Amino acid sequence: MKRITTATLLLAIASGLTGCAAICDGVISIETDVRNDVLAKKAWGHWSWVYGDIDHPWHFGKGFKEGYVNVLNGGSGCQPTIPPQCYWKPCYQTLEGRSKIHGWFDGFSHGALAAKQDGYGDIGQIPISPTARANMEVARRRPAQDGIQDGSHAAEGIISDGTQEELIIAPADGDEESRELTPLPDRPVRIRPYE
C-alpha cells in the first residue's frame, strides 16, 4: 500500500512539474491579452474624437481596437483578407452590412497606424543580450567574407588550421587548381560564452 502511495505521489509531482510551464505560459498569455485590450481601449478613447463624423462608428471603433491589438501582438498591422467571423452573418450581406464591414477594415488600418504612432510597434519583442546580438552580427557578416573572388580565379573553399588558411583556387581557364597559403586576417573575436 505504501509503494502505491509513493508512486502516486511521485507521478503527481512529475505531472505537476511538467504542467507548471504550461500554466505559466497561460498566465503570461492572459496578462498580455488583458494589457493589450486595455491599451487598445485607452487608445480608442484618446483617438475617437478624430473620427466623430464617420459612418458606422461602432464598427470602425471595433476595427480600430483590433488593429491596435494586432500591432501590440507583434503583427504588421496589415488588414486581414477577410473580416472577423461575426461579420459573416446574413445581416451583413446587404449594402448597409458591407458598409459596416468596410468601416471595420478602415478602423483596423487606423488602429494599427495609431499603435505604431504611439510607439508600440515593437512592444511584443523580447530584448536579447548584447552577447547574442554580437554573435548574430558576426554570423551575418561571415558569408560575405568567405565569398572571395577576383577576376581570374574563383574561390572554391577555405581550409583553416587556426594559424593559416589554405585557399583553394580554381583557375577560370580550366587548369588544375592551385593552393595558396595565406596568413589569417585580423578577424573580430567571436564572443560565445555559452559554448
Q: What is the pLDDT of residue 131?
A: 85
State how far the Cα of 195 lies from the Cα of 191, in Å rounded to an integer.
Answer: 9
In a domain, 62, yes or no: yes
With respect to residue 101, please indicate whether it lies within any of the assigned structural domains. yes
What integer pLDDT is reported at residue 94 of this predicted model?
94
Mean of the pLDDT values across residues 149-156? 44
- Of all residues in the chain, the percent with pLDDT exceeding 70 is 63
Residue 65 near residue 51, CB atoms below 8 Å: no
Reply yes or no on whether the pLDDT at 176 is more than 80: no
Is the model's pLDDT at 151 over the cut of 50? no
The average confidence (pLDDT) of the chain is 75
Cell readout for 195 is 559554448
Average pLDDT rounded to a whole number, residues 159-165? 46
What's the pLDDT at 28?
Answer: 86
What would the mean pLDDT of 145-165 be, rounded to a whole number?
46
Its domain, for residue 69, covers 32-117
178 located within any domain: no
CA distance 91 to 169: 72
Matching residue, cell 505531472: 15
CA pair distance 184, 178, nearest whole angstrom: 18
Q: Does residue 61 form part of some domain? A: yes
Residue 191 CB: number of other CB atoms within 10 A?
A: 13
How many residues does the structure list for the chain?
195
| 3-class secondary-structure state, position 149 | strand
Question: Rounded to the nearest 5°, which phi and psi values hold at 117?
Answer: -70, -30
Q: Is residue 133 part of a domain?
A: no
73 within a domain of the structure (yes/no): yes
Question: Total domain count for the chain?
Answer: 1
Residue 8 lies in a domain: no
Tell me, yes or no, whether 38 lies in a domain: yes
pLDDT of residue 105: 95
Summarize pLDDT for 30-79 with one digit per residue, the tens. Answer: 998 999 999 999 999 998 888 888 989 999 999 999 999 999 998 888 99
